[in-house]
Structure 1
């Protein structure tokens, strides 16, 4: 028997066969978490190595500070490449299908990350080694843009109305999961190897692991998106690629507002993960492996706060949740100098509070990305809005924060983070309908 269903905007969709087995949101959530965890592992592996390894291995001709800044320049390449990857792989999907696109993107992501394990050092390859590092980092960004599968949007659209905040946060758990695995590997290697061995070969091990993790994630996600049931749901929800030019012409305002609405969260993202690790490495005598353990504890706390954000958003609304967290992040920004210069205790407090705020805000960032698009633009719009959010909020955060703190003082890092909070509040004030629709 056929029955009419309606999309998130109440618009009737084509008849569907009610005899089909209903796909549980929890099953979609599993695929989202596995996929995002593998992507974040790749990116955090690179991020941690850009602090602990690359200044010595690829920029030995520069001071330790300058080498780290150069490393952070290449760090930003992946975020610059993401929109290009999204547009390119959307075209591949339109021509060859979703499974082909996802397979190519995840193999490219795994190959780009694992390829870094085989790079020659600057002493061995000179400028060629730097060029290969930059190309592989750019490849990571292209692949990550191409790995968008629409599952987060599908999860939001199929979640019960009263639990949309809860289901929106599930995919965000991939971030702390990826960080915990990457930081754990580096902490073990640092504590168990001599410094010379770590810089010679030990740092390469996490990059080897990345390819295997991506293969597991690929099959976990293909198991979902290649089935008839999921293909039917994706088609019914109009989660298909659309022309980028048409998207920006029709939905450009939503793209910009969606990216800026979660700017505070994205700005904080690398200021509690990558930046403090670089600052500790340069200006503290504290053990780096022990500091990574503190960050891992913070990441577990962030995971708990991501879960809490779903409960909070379902009770007060996503817009109020994001706005309240933007204010709290703005207040937190004023304590950056005091905490980072407060010795082991102050730095630990910075990590714990920072990760907690990150979890609470980032848990609902995905909802900000997808909330206001017309249904036929949601698939491409969500992907490109996410790309823009990462580019504006996170791509240059380690570079800017370290450069400002090194040359002008930590107070300027406070201003940088405060500007992100102000950007979020401004975007939220322009969009009072943000808490609806997904």
Structure 2
């Protein structure tokens, strides 16, 4: 069967299950966006946690635990490098075959890549092929995420009432704390309930198997929205159509570049409070990983609440004002963070609590922070490229850089890394403000 025939079948099934002849409500838009983002973040957090708990032992047993984790974080970064490549590929698919074909292929690739990790053989079984397979599947995740961009977040924000733009911009970001909560909960359950031998033999694989089911649900939820006539009309009205990448970059390179750095503080903090502290606790303390995973679950709930609050604050004070203020607070937190993380039980709890509050407030408004500066015809492709580069610069190498710096120069060096992210965010926001003024004057 051709790709278009298969996708048409999925579209029909999505309509049959969800439509019932009723118009789509704004609440359904929000639900579709949140489900889609949750599936994406779940896949990434499952790998991130396994990169600390499992892969150093399973895939890199020929080096010590620290070096194995460094290698695992290097593979972690491959998805962020591959993501812009995925956008280039799937924008071409979108222009040729349509948004629903692109989404179907991308989400199946994402789910398949993640589930396949659950079947990975160990290094002891197949040698260096285990490393090659892990890297290949991680690249598959990144390419798929580039294709998973559907424009729904932009559509939701652009059609939001003027006074509630911050609230609607926040909704897609809820997927991150939800994804972390589910991924951490699954790993915590298996780590705590299974003997170590059973966990490494089969227990760690189950969270990866869950990914496929979540991705199928996300696919149907998103197809329900993007294939309907109402949404096609809205996409066309807002000019959210894929444009040629070269043309978009030529016309919007300044905005894309600034947009890549504007959320740097938020995206750096993203993995500094989720992935890096788990590696630090496991490598440099005697604490049980199950306990810290529970703390991460609590942190995810705090981050969820802070993300919701960010929508209210952004509508009251403005998105750029909120992002700039939180960037300053993140810079202050970066100075205190190393002392907190190395300060025992209470210090760890404060580190995670404060970190997730700042993460939620900043991440809730970080998506498309400068997207409004893009010309309408370039907004769809430009937003996708901006998001890809922001994740690459801000989050892709954060766990690796923080662990390398901390292992060599001490924990304070990781705080310096986070501080630099806050500085870049403030510079990018200031330059974008000046760029916006020039555009208005013209």
Worse overlay, 228-237 or 187-196: 228-237
* Cross-structure match for 2:17: none
* Cross-structure match for 1:135: 136
Q: Distance in 2 between matches of 1:85 and 1:292?
A: 31
Q: Distance in 2 between matches of 1:256 and 1:94?
A: 24
* Cross-structure match for 2:102: 101
1:76-155 residue pairs with structure 2 within 5 A? 76-155=77-156
- 1:434 Cα shift? 8.8
1:188-199 residue pairs with structure 2 within 5 A? 188-199=189-200
1:146-168, CA deviations, whole angstroms, 9 ceiling, x for partnerless residues?
A: 00000000001100000000000
* Cross-structure match for 1:321: 322
Q: Is the 8 A contact 1:36 1:171 kept in 2?
A: yes
4+ runs deviating over 2 angstroms: 21-27, 433-437
- 1:123 Cα shift? 0.4
* Cross-structure match for 1:350: 351
* Cross-structure match for 2:361: 360
* Cross-structure match for 2:181: 180
1:144-223 residue pairs with structure 2 within 5 A? 144-223=145-224
Quick one: structure 1 residues 389 and 172, their matched pair in 2 at CA, closer, same or farther if it must change by over 3 Å? same
1:30-79, CA deviations, whole angstroms, 9 ceiling, x for partnerless residues?
A: 11100000000000000000000000000000000000000000000000
- 1:339 Cα shift? 0.6
Q: Distance in 2 between matches of 1:63 and 1:250?
A: 49
* Cross-structure match for 1:392: 393
Q: Distance in 1 between matches of 2:50 and 2:187?
A: 9
- 1:371 Cα shift? 2.4
1:252-291 residue pairs with structure 2 within 5 A? 252-291=253-292
Structure with the largest fraction of helix: 2
Quick one: structure 1 residues 171 and 435, their matched pair in 2 at CA, closer, same or farther if it must change by over 3 Å? farther
Q: Is the 8 A contact 1:166 1:314 kept in 2?
A: yes
1:130-182, CA deviations, whole angstroms, 9 ceiling, x for partnerless residues?
A: 10110000000000000000000000110000000000000000000000000
- 1:378 Cα shift? 0.6
* Cross-structure match for 2:51: 50
- 1:370 Cα shift? 2.0
Q: Is the 8 A contact 2:267 2:394 kept in 1?
A: yes
- 1:27 Cα shift? 2.2
SS of 2:108 mapped into structure 1: helix
* Cross-structure match for 1:3: none
Q: Distance in 2 between matches of 1:305 and 1:99?
A: 33
Q: Is the 8 A contact 1:94 1:241 kept in 2?
A: yes
Q: Is structure 2 residue 39 aligned with structure 1 residue 32?
A: no
Name the TM-score, length of structure 1 as normaliser: 0.93
Alignment RMSD, CA only? 1.6
Aligned length: 418
Q: Distance in 2 between matches of 1:135 and 1:106?
A: 17
1:95-149, CA deviations, whole angstroms, 9 ceiling, x for partnerless residues?
A: 1111110000000000000001111100001111110110000000000000000
SS of 1:367 mapped into structure 2: coil
